[in-house]
Structure 1
Amino acid sequence: MLKKNVLRKNSEFSAVYNKGKSVGDRYVVLFYRLNGLPYNRTGFLASKKVGNSVVRNRAKRLMKESYRNIEGSLPEGYDFIIIARNTICGKKCAEVEKSLNSAFRRTGVKKGK
């Protein structure tokens, strides 16, 4: 993931939270918003409710890998924030990817399988 493809500033996160829409699924919550750029930007979060630092980092790794696998099928020009739920603990990458895929389909951003 390139540096330009990552949400970094607090103002960028606030814009997605305040002006965007959200969809929840079993293991993740997805916030999304059009950004008017020719590429997507993404942020991954796991709060302390998910677990200790080891568990939170694993959750973020799982979400990043799942996003990387489905990234090619997404249209350009969106900001995404993907937040881990505490149910993500102990899950496999395939389960998280299925959940993330389902969330993207429910937003209307991604079509089909």
Structure 2
Amino acid sequence: MLKKTVLRNNKEISLIYNKGKSEGSKFVVLFYKKNGLSYNRTCVLASKKVGNSVKRNRARRLIKSAYFNFDGRIKIGFDLIFIARKDIIDVKCKDVEKSLYSLFVRSNLLDKR
């Protein structure tokens, strides 16, 4: 992820939690909100409920990898927060991709290209 496309500001993240919309699946929860910019900003989180640091980092890597496969097909101008769920540890990247695809379809974030 490019540095400018990563959400780091706690106020912005809290705003997306409180004012944005959310969709959930078995492995990932997606919070999203329009940002009015010409690019998407993302944040990937994994709480301590997911496991130790090795498991949390693996969960983040799985989500980032699956997100990059959709990067060109997602509508522009959104802030996206992905939160890993505990079940993500035992799955492959393809399962996470399917999960993200269903989230993007339900939230109407996929471009019709």
TM-score w.r.t. the length of structure 2 is: 0.96
Match of 2:12 in 1: 12
**How do residues 30-41 of structure 1 correspond to structure 2 at under 5 angstroms?**
30-41=30-41
Specify the alignment match of 1:43 in structure 2.
43
Q: Secondary structure at the match of 1:79?
A: strand
Aligned match of 1:79: 79
Q: Which runs of 5+ in 1 are unaligned?
A: none
> Cα distance, 1:51 vs. partner?
0.6
Structure 2 gap ranges (5+): none
Q: Deviations for 1:35-68, whole angstroms, at most 9, x for unmatched residues?
A: 0000000000000111111000000000000000
Q: What is the distance in 1 between the residues matched to 2:85 and 2:38?
A: 30
Q: Deviations over 1:5-53 (max 9, x none)?
A: 0000101101111110000011000000000000000000000111111
The one-letter code of the counterpart of 1:109 is L
Q: Identity across aligned pairs (percent)?
A: 59
Q: 2:58 maps to what in 1?
A: 58
How much does 1:111 deviate?
5.2
The answer to whether the 8 Å contact 1:45/1:81 transfers is yes
Q: TM-score, normalised by structure 1?
A: 0.96
CA contact (8 A) 2:23 2:106 kept: yes
Are the counterparts in 2 of residues 62 and 96 from structure 1 also a CA contact under 8 Å? yes
- 1:23 and 2:26 aligned: no
Q: Report the residue type matching 2:98 in the other structure.
A: K
CA-atom RMSD in angstroms: 1.0
- Which residue matches 1:90? 90
